[in-house]
Amino acid sequence: MFTKIKRIVVKVGSSILTSERSYLSQAKVKKIVCSIVELMKDYNKEVILVSSGAIACGMSVLKLKKRPSDLSTLQAAAAIGQGKLMNTYEKYFSQYNYHTAQILLTIDGLHHRVRYLNARNTINSLLNLNIVPIVNENDTVATEEIKFGDNDNLSAQVAMLTNSDLLILLSDVDGFCVTEGKTCKVLSTIDTIDEDLKKHLYEVRGGKTVGGMRSKLETGFMLMKLGLPTIIANGNKKDILGRIVSGKEEGTLFMPHQKRQTSKKSWLAFTATSSTAGSIVVDHGAYCALVEGGKSLLASGITSLKGEFKFGDAVRIVNHEGTEFAKGITNFSHNELELIKGKKTSQIKEILGNKNYDEVIHRDNMIIL
């Protein structure tokens, strides 16, 4: 099913880039590079690499056998290791006449629509120039990845950001393991794995890594909702990327259960969380029109507002019971909506003195959650 796809995000975990002594393995990096080059040359794919390993690489330089627990030492290790990691990638890619570009992102930076679009444009330009974008969390200034997760979530954000066709998460396991030695091949619905099963999820975390199978499970489920397939596979297996794109059954496939959402709607649903400035409360009629009728939001259906926001901000849309059910980009500021809420569209110009839009939030700029 993946023979016709064009753009792939490959996420590589620290566990398959480093040796047993916690040092960056030149041989393992070279193996990953060879596999990616094969995808580009033999299968005509565009590849964006999301690579962990900066902290583990810094640990090697500092002769640390165990991942530091304090934030400042972790950030120092990332600062030391990131350049060395990129230098290693460039060395091996250049042997095949490819060059690399470093993209350092923070999740909170992607929450802002303009920065999000700038990042997308940069990566698209690099791919058009036949350069391999290598993305990592900017660990020296961001704390989200170091404190709470790993690059699984970042790789999902990159896949949505770049309108990629497939996300491949390479780890040191054969897929989603429910118990030791037992791997699920395909997950087609979120209900396939219940909460009780998650509690007994089998996973092993190394001293150089953070996150684990639970993080990958959450990433796969998130992309299932957006219509993007995800595969968890063993990056230590020979020719693993080639086997996946040629249709071989490898790892665990998270099968999308709806058609692909647009990049804008994906951003609204899962990336614009912290930048959502306020809420618009709508009546039951507007709720039904949005959810069941696929309509845009009009001023007449708005009953109240919460928070402050301006034109172009992402806002939450809440029903009369207080439940958030949608997000969208507003065509009016908070102050303007205070004046026109509950009013007919024909009254907007008279009240505000001008009317650039009929809709408060156009259907194309809205996603139902």
Q: Which residues contact 26 (CB under 8 A, 6 or more apart)?
A: 88
The H or E element that residue 281 is part of is strand 278-282
Work out the average pLDDT over 185-209.
56
Distance CA 343, CA 337 (A): 10
How far is Cα 39 from Cα 240, in angstroms, rounded to an integer? 11
pLDDT at 328 over 90: no
Residue 352 confidence class, pLDDT cut points 50, 70, 90: very high
In this prediction, residue 148 carries a pLDDT of: 35
Structural domains in the chain, sorted by start: 7-265 (3.40.1160.10), 276-368 (2.30.130.10)
Q: Which of 37, 34, 44, 49 is nearest to 6 (CA)?
A: 44
Identify the burial level of 323 via C-beta atoms within 10 angstroms of its C-beta, where 0-12 means exposed, 13-18 middle and 19 or more buried: exposed
Q: Which of 237-246, 249-258, 268-277 has the lowest mean pLDDT?
A: 268-277
pLDDT attached to residue 142: 58
Q: Compute the mean pLDDT over every residue in the chain, rounded to the nearest whole number.
A: 84
For residue 198, pLDDT over 60 is answered with no
Give residue for tokens 């110009």. 349
pLDDT digits (tens, 9 = 90+) for 283-293: 999 999 999 99
Task: Please determine, for residue 18, whether its predicted confidence score (pLDDT) is greater than 70.
Answer: yes
Question: pLDDT of 242-258, one tens digit each?
Answer: 999 998 989 999 988 76
Residues 6+ apart with CB under 8 A from 77: 54, 55, 57, 58, 59, 61, 62, 64, 68
CB atoms within 10 A of CB 303: 15
- In this prediction, residue 207 carries a pLDDT of 44
| DSSP per-residue string spanning 100-158 | EEEEEE-HHHHTSHHHHHHHHHHHHHHHHTT-EEEEEE-TTT--HHHHH--HHHHHHHH
Question: Which stretches of the chain are DSSP H helices?
Answer: 26-42, 54-61, 71-94, 107-110, 113-128, 144-148, 151-161, 195-199, 213-226, 240-245, 263-266, 284-291, 334-340, 348-352
Rounded Cα distance, 122 and 181, in Å: 42
Query: Based on C-alpha coordinates, what's the Rg of the chain?
Result: 23
